[in-house]
Chains A and B, each alone.
Chain A
Amino acid sequence: MAMRDNPILRVTAKILFAPIIVFGLYVQFHGDYGPGGGFQAGVIIAAAFILHALIFGLEAGRRLVPGWANLAMLAGGVIVYGAVGVAGMMLDGLFLDYNVLSYDASKGQHYGIILVEFGVGLTVTGVMLALFHAFAGFAEAHYRPGAAGGAAGGAAGGADDGEGV
């Protein structure tokens, strides 16, 4: 019996999905005041999507976050981070100098750290999902009875040679 056929798992996953993401966003945007930040938030948000894929199957997970979206998150986060640094240079400061981002140094620090953490969160979410899909896709392709062997789905989505769990 697949996990999605179990009503308890299905309902729990549906109830938890949104709150996990909201908590992730809280950790993300609270990072500059208290414990938290992009790394932790990225992992939490990715956990919501991984839970979804665990319960409803890998295919559903791939439909929710396709390979290209994953790649965009991975690379986009780094670009956001770097862009903040380059913006510092363009505003006559040094690389990653947040002071020059606003008329007020403390406000500039604030903007800088929020944007940088946003980039970190985006990349970490992407990396977690890419890792999950790569490994789960590998297991799916190689260890399911009757499944044809083949290359595992890569970070970018890769081979779709299974129909879910």
Chain B
Amino acid sequence: MTIVQVIANLPALVVVIPLLLSPIVALTPVAGLAWVLAVLGTGGALFCAVLLQGAVTGGAGFSYFLGNWPPPWGIEFVVDPVSAFTVLVMAALAFVATLFARGALPAEIAEGDAGKAYSAWLLACGGLSGLVLTGDAFNLFVFLEISALSSVILIALGAGRDRRALIAGYNYLIIGAVGATFYVIGVGFIYAVTGSLNMADLAVRIPEVAETNVVRIGFGFMMAGLLVKAAIFPVHVWLPAAYAFAPSAVSALLAAIATKASLYIIARVMFGVFAGVPDLAAFTAEFILIPLALAGIFLGTILAIYENDIKKLLAFSSVAQIGYIALGFGVATTAGLAAGFVHIGNHALIKGGLFLAVGCYAVALGRRVNLGQMAGLGRRMPITTTAFLICGLSLIGLPLTAGFISKLYLVRALLEAEMIMVMLLVMGSSALSVVYLWKIVEVLWTPGEGETPVRQAPVRETPALYLPLWIIAIANIWFGVAPAPLVDAATRAAMYLTGGM
């Protein structure tokens, strides 16, 4: 392909490269080669996503007609500040997680599964990118299914070492399918009254029929399904087990990109497709998103404090962090949406980094780790633990880390919207998250009881594992010190959404 052809087809290539490499990986007999293809696939997607982000810095979007069929009849991929930002975040994290997977994945799944795992891996990456880029409400459902089914495979891969991964995967399969079904039922209702599936077209047609119950019911079903997919409290129940029993590299991938895509869709549906029915979106934001987000923040944080399994602890913390993003969207102002998008990027960095670090521990110790077994690891694995600490501090929002920027913008948005009570609750929950992080840090640097000096010998840390982790750790500091690129992109996205589709 010539450069011109590549440039003309960038939006499709972000999705097509991983999706098409997936069957090729499935036919590749050598696990090492499969990994190389996976790196090429996610790297290619990242390259395209960077170029797409560059194309929308002007604030305007463009669309790509799949099969050259113009919308609203054909399916279009919409590249605008919102989707380009989200795709870039996801592609970057997916690439780093893929780099990490080479050392970590084989250690946590059954022997011989590693090669084929990358097939599902690429499918999940491609499916999630498609989810974000598509401008067609039904095509979105198809990508939802592609990414969900491949995620189930990835989670269930953990069964090679721990059979509980099968139950976790099965739960996600059933609950995720219910969520996707709700979404598609909603699309069906909307299609019944508008006769269109194209999001931009829907945004024009829905106001004509805004005062009908069909639209309200359709909106309700779509939102209910998407809340399940985004793991917002109280429909987050699939998430903790799924993240806890999946291989660490998979946990990092899913935590960093999977729920982010669903949160993006929530913003898109509320403020894009249903922009013509402002009271519906406003009601949802005020009476559903904000209360659920706050409940999720506190429940997730408190459960994390009492949890002893490190991966489950991080998963509960994810429920809380998803709450912060949903809270930003719930404020429903430009500043609030911007805060949500900033945290989509920052939380991907934070939680991706933490899960990668846990993956390093799991590989080094050769087993699942709970807090007890991590005693003294800070001395034995200093390189990994320092990166873990940076990501952890970023999680609680220490100044000079990415997490601080998220909290700052969220608090500012809440103050602007004059939600003092909510703001105080956010500050309080931040303080609570110090508790569970400190619990981990304390364990990491205290030697375990009855540990002999021999057992405290340093563990060999391989660069293949800690380099990807450090990329993310440095990014956490980078976006804490120089947050402008991320914040600008997020603000552009928010302005694009609130200014209409």
CA distance A89 to B3 in the complex (A): 11
Q: Give the secondary structure class of A's interface.
A: helix
- Kindly report which residue of chain A lies nearest to residue B28, judged by CB atoms: A75
The answer to whether residues A94 and B66 also contact, given A82-B19, A85-B16, A86-B16 and a CB cut-off of 8 A, is yes
Asked whether, in the complex, the Cβ of B16 is within 8 Å of the Cβ of A75, the reply is no
CB < 8 Å neighbour of A78 from B9, B22, B68:
B22
Contact between B5 and A90, CB atoms less than 8 A apart: yes
Report the Cα distance A133→B67, complex, angstroms. Answer: 36
CA A95 to CA B23, docked complex, whole Å: 18
Q: Which of B16, B22, B68 is the one whose CB lies under 8 Å from A93?
A: B68
Chain A interface: which size bin?
20 to 34
Binary A-proximity of B11-31 (CB < 8 A = 1, otherwise 0): 010001001101110110000
> Which residues in window 5-55 of A have CB below 8 A to B?
none
Q: Does B65 contact A (CB under 8 A)?
A: yes
- Please tell me which one of the listed residues B8, B20, B27 contacts residue A86 in the complex, with CB atoms under 8 A apart: B20
Please indicate the chain B residues that have their CB under 8 angstroms from the CB of A72 in the complex.
27
Contact in complex: A94, B23 (CB < 8 Å) = no
- Asked if A71 and B5 sit within 8 Å, CB to CB, the answer is no
Q: How far is the CB of B241 from chain A (nearest CB, A)?
A: 23
Count of inter-chain pairs, beta carbons less than 8 A: 55
> Given the complex, which residues of A lie within 8 Å of B8, measured CB to CB?
89, 92, 94
Knowing A86-B16, A89-B1 touch, does A94 contact B24 (C-beta < 8 A)? no
Question: Across the interface, do B1 and A95 meet the contact criterion of CB distance under 8 Å?
Answer: no
Residue pair B67, A96 in contact (C-beta under 8 Å): yes
CA distance A92 to B9 in the complex (A): 9
* Chain B min CB distance to A120 (Å): 13
* B274 CB-CB contact with A under 8 Å: no
Known interface pairs A72-B27, A75-B23, A78-B23; A94-B64 also in contact (CB < 8 Å): yes
Q: A56 interface residue, CB < 8 Å from B?
A: no
For B20, give the chain A residue with the smallest CB separation: A82
A82 CA / B22 CA spacing, docked (Å): 11
Residue A140 interfacial (CB < 8 Å): no
**A141 an interface residue at 8 Å Cβ cutoff?**
no
Q: Do B67 and A79 have beta carbons less than 8 Å apart?
A: no
Interface contact B5-A75, CB-CB below 8 Å: no
With the chains together, A89 CA to B13 CA distance in Å? 10
What is the distance, in angstroms, from A95's C-beta to the closest C-beta of chain B?
4
Minimum CB distance partner of B22 in chain A: A78
Distance, CA A94 to CA B22, complexed state (A): 21
Please name all residues of chain A whose beta carbon is closer than 8 Å to the beta carbon of B23 when the two chains form the complex.
74-76, 78-79, 82
Bound Cα distance A99, B24 (Å):
26
- Nearest Cβ distance between residue B358 and chain A, in whole angstroms? 28
Assess whether A99 is in contact with B1, with CB atoms less than 8 Å apart. no
Q: Is the CB of B26 within 8 A of A74?
A: yes
Pairwise interchain contact B20-A94, C-beta atoms closer than 8 A: no
Shortest distance from the beta carbon of B256 to any chain A beta carbon, whole Å: 26
- Cα distance, A88 to B1, chains bound together (Å): 11
Q: Which of B1, B23, B64 has the most CB of A within 10 A?
A: B23
Q: Chain A contacts of B24 at CB under 8 A?
A: 75, 79
Q: Does A98 contact B (CB under 8 A)?
A: yes
Q: A75-B27, A89-B5 are in contact. Are A94 and B67 (CB under 8 A)?
A: yes
Contacts of A117 in B (CB 8 A): none
Q: Contact check, A79 vs B20: say whether CB atoms are below 8 A apart.
A: yes
B27-A95 in contact (CB<8A): no
Contact B65 A75 (CB under 8 A): no
Assuming A75-B24, A75-B26, is B68 touching A94 (CB within 8 A)? yes
Find the A residue at minimum CB distance from B15: A95
Q: Is the CB of B66 within 8 A of A95?
A: yes
**Complex: how many Å from CA A88 to CA B19?**
16
Closest to A112 in B: B67
Separation of A98 and B66 alpha carbons in the complex (Å): 11
Q: Is the CB of B16 within 8 A of A94?
A: no
Kindly provide the distance from the CB of B53 to the nearest chain A CB, expressed in whole angstroms.
Answer: 20
- Residue of A at shortest CB range from B123? A78
Q: Bound state CA distance, A96 and B9, in angstroms?
A: 11
Give the chain B neighbours of A90 by CB distance below 8 A: 1, 5
Contacts of A97 in B (CB 8 A): 67-68
Which residues of A, 80-109, contact B by the 8 Å Cβ criterion?
82, 85-86, 88-90, 92-99
- Give me the 5 closest cross-chain CB pairs, A-B, nearest first: A75-B23, A95-B12, A96-B67, A82-B20, A78-B23
Interface residues of B (CB under 8 A from A): 1, 5, 8-9, 12, 16, 19-20, 22-24, 26-27, 64-68
Task: List 17 other contacts, CB 8 Å, given A79-B24, A89-B5, A90-B1.
Answer: A71-B26, A72-B27, A74-B26, A75-B26, A76-B23, A78-B20, A78-B23, A82-B16, A85-B12, A85-B16, A86-B20, A89-B9, A93-B68, A94-B65, A94-B66, A96-B66, A96-B67
Subset of 27 A-B contacts with CB under 8 Å: A71-B26, A71-B27, A74-B23, A74-B26, A75-B23, A75-B24, A76-B23, A78-B20, A78-B23, A79-B23, A82-B16, A82-B19, A82-B20, A86-B20, A89-B1, A89-B8, A90-B1, A94-B8, A94-B9, A94-B66, A94-B67, A95-B9, A95-B12, A95-B67, A96-B67, A98-B67, A99-B68
